[in-house]
Amino acid sequence: MNRNFTRDGARSPVSAGKSLERLSRKRQELIRPVLENPREFVLLSARSLAQRLRVDPATAVRTVQSMGFTTYRDFQAYLHELSIAQATSLDTMRASKARGASLPAHVREVVDHNLQNLQRLRNTLDYERLAALAKKIYAARRILIIGGDLATTLVGYLEYHLLFLGLPVFAATSTGETLHLAQAAGKKDLVIAISYRRGLRQTVEGLQQAHINGAYCVGITDTLVSPISRFADETFITSVESPSFGVSYVAAACLLEGIVAACGYYPNPSARKLLKKNSAEQRHGFRWYQ
């Protein structure tokens, strides 16, 4: 069963697979501009939306309902998530509240936004789910972590720490590696896929293949309309929004640290024994400057 949740922990009204397929061809063409440019329409009332589409309000509302949304507010929530998924670097910079300000002001805005992302994660994260995930990680035959592009840094971070605990972890960050790892995934494996915004093709398709093969799939992304969420058995949401040209991985790194902590404190004798060995190496190992 797919366990997808909103940022406040409730099941999302946008996670029910809303699509154009439910609509007639005429209505598909009517609503297509809205779905292709959600940022331009997300704040509009039903009446204003109808005016932009040059139809009467009743037609606009019926079209939204035909897509499977109970209320127009649910449709607006969907557009909000869609705008997150489709955001580009230029979009985030244009949304900056410090536009035209000094460079130090922009830096401060970025730092403040990172703190907001962290606070949002702290307020919404279900710690019991992380504890349950740690149990699944230890029970898995193999832990497969996939991600690419900028998310490569997150993949490497999680892989390193799980290796530290002696867990059978394998990481893939290139298209070929992801393909082979996903094809080899089986029912006793656990797959963690990390990708944000629209979703990197290699990561989404790798997750989809692993899901088809019966592996337990965990998605880490920033919105429930992401294809990562679609193919995951459970999804963890972390915001990567930033007023800079890039994305903010502060909350994502914090979530991974939470997973690492849950695994580190999990009552596993082998992991405890390995931690003692690693502690000795950290004190006297050849890697460290004397």
Decide if pLDDT at 172 tops 80: yes
Domains 20-85 and 123-283 are alike in CATH topology: no
Residue-wise pLDDT tens digits, 5-51: 443 333 444 443 456 777 888 888 888 888 888 888 888 898 998 88
pLDDT tens digit string along 206-230?
A: 999 999 999 999 999 998 888 899 8
- What is the Cα 275 distance to its own chain's centre? 30
Query: How confident is the model over 177-186, as pLDDT tens digits?
Result: 999 999 999 9
Ordered by start, the domain boundaries in the chain are 20-85, 123-283
Q: Are 160 and 212 in contact (CB under 8 A)?
A: no
185 close to 210: Cβ distance less than 8 angstroms: yes
Q: Which CATH class is domain 20-85?
A: mainly alpha
- Higher-pLDDT residue of 2 and 76 is 76
CATH architecture of 123-283: 3-Layer(aba) Sandwich (3.40)
- The pLDDT value recorded for residue 5 is 43
Pair 199, 150: CB distance under 8 Å: no
Can you tell me the distance from the alpha carbon of 170 to that of 155, in angstroms, rounded to the nearest whole number? 10
**pLDDT over 70, % of the chain:** 89
Mean pLDDT on 89-117: 77
Q: Where are the alpha helices (DSSP H) in the chain?
A: 25-36, 46-53, 57-66, 72-85, 89-94, 103-124, 127-139, 152-164, 175-184, 201-212, 227-230, 250-265, 269-284
pLDDT tier for residue 126 given thresholds of 50, 70 and 90: very high
Contact predicate 173/221, CB 8 Å: no
Nearest to 74, CA basis, from 48, 95, 46, 47: 46
Q: Is the pLDDT at 3 greater than 60, yes or no?
A: no
DSSP β-ladder status, 143-146 and 169-172: parallel
Helix axes 152-164, 269-284, angle to 10 degrees: 100
Q: Across the chain, what does the average pLDDT equal?
A: 85
Percentage of the chain lying above the pLDDT 90 cut: 45
Q: Return the ∠ at Cα 88 (arms to 87 and 94), rounded to 5°.
A: 90
pLDDT for position 155 = 97
Sheet hosting strand 143-146, strand order edge to edge: 169-172, 143-146, 190-194, 216-221, 234-237
Q: Is 72 buried (19+), middle (13-18) or exposed (0-12) by CB count in 10 A?
A: middle
- Contact, 191 vs 147, CB < 8 A? no
Helix axes 25-36, 57-66, angle to 10 degrees: 90
Q: Which two tokens stand for residue 191?
A: 């797959």
- Dihedral class, residue 100 (left if φ above 0, else alpha if ψ from -120 to 50, else beta): left
Terminal-to-terminal C-alpha distance of the chain: 53
Predicted pLDDT at 50: 87
